[in-house]
Amino acid sequence: DYLSKHYGEKFNKPGYTFPNQLDFEDYRWNVFPDKQEKITIGFMGSASHAHDLGMFKEVIKRILKEYDVEFHFVGGTLSEFGFSDRIKFFTSTKHGTKNKVELQGEFFDSDDYPRYMAKWDIGIIPLVDADFNLAKSDLKFLEYSRLSIPAVVSKLPTSRTVQDGVTGLLAGSDKEWHRQLVKLIESEKKRKEIGQAAFEYVRDFRQIKQHAANYVKILEKAIKLKGARNKPSKLLVVKA
């Protein structure tokens, strides 16, 4: 909605948003849980999320002091967190950060993301309240949910699809982030309940094939508004 409104006003055209959906027939996501000895809290995202994780740094430090857990960051390295046996980074060799991550001895292709995520007990989606993040979709939540990983998510409009306490846990302040993480760390039952509810939400409502007809309708509308060939389009379509 943020993108379609922003670009619709910028170009003075009606805008429509295609929300992200998942392809349940994608074989890469057919992975089994690979839980570790310690409870593992994971984040998937590139180093461009340094500001988002930076707001979360003190919470990470506190959790590590209070609980024997691990944090896994998949996709990018954030040197300000340091390297330790309980803070691990895994990145693709394509991202140009091989030397920085060599300390971990973990290299993989981006197609292997689901395999690494399958090790997690809890997922985190911290997002700073900024225009860039307001323009994002709930894709990360969908992907965590596809693997039944319960997530703690920042309270932003992008997380409006998360039903707090049912399909995920919402957090704003450091205090809330700590409280919500503790709920999941201390209760395997709650982790399983929220993870299963999140999976069922994605399975029942967020599959690509369930929304194909909507895509066709909007594209047909765009073709009609376009009119004669070579005339500029009067409809802006945004895929978020």
What DSSP line would sit under 28-87, residue for residue? GG-------SSEEEEEE--GGGHHHHHTTHHHHHHHHHHS-EEEEEES---GGG--BTTE
Tens digit of each residue's pLDDT (9 = 90 or more) over 55-87: 888 898 899 899 999 888 876 655 555 555 667
Count H helices and E strands in the chain, helices first. Answer: 10, 9
* 17, pLDDT greater than 70: yes
Largest CA distance in the chain: 66
Judge residue 25's burial from the number of C-beta atoms within 10 Å of its C-beta, 0-12 exposed, 13-18 middle, 19 or more buried. exposed
| Residues paired with 41 in a beta bridge | 71, 122
Residue 209 has a pLDDT of: 92
Give the pLDDT confidence score for residue 90 in this predicted structure.
64
Question: Which parts of the chain are beta strand (E)?
Answer: 15-18, 39-44, 69-74, 87-92, 107-108, 122-125, 151-154, 169-171, 236-239
pLDDT of res. 198: 98
As a whole number of angstroms, the distance between CA 71 and CA 58 comes to 13
pLDDT in tens, 190-220: 999 999 999 999 999 999 999 988 888 888 8
pLDDT tens sequence across 123-174: 999 998 888 788 788 999 999 999 999 999 999 988 999 999 999 999 999 9
**Statement: residue 188 has pLDDT above 80:** yes
Q: Name which residue leads in pLDDT, 35 or 235.
A: 35
Contacts 24+ apart (CB under 8 A), 88-95: 90/116, 95/46, 95/47
pTM (2 d.p.): 0.81
Question: Which of the four pLDDT bands, split at 50, 70 and 90, describes residue 105?
Answer: very low
3-class DSSP state of 91: strand
Sign of the alpha-carbon dihedral angle for 37, 38, 42, 48: negative
Question: Is the pLDDT score of 113 beyond 90?
Answer: no
User: Taking all residues of the chain, what is their mean pLDDT, rounded to a whole number?
Assistant: 81
Q: Is the pLDDT of residue 222 over 80?
A: no
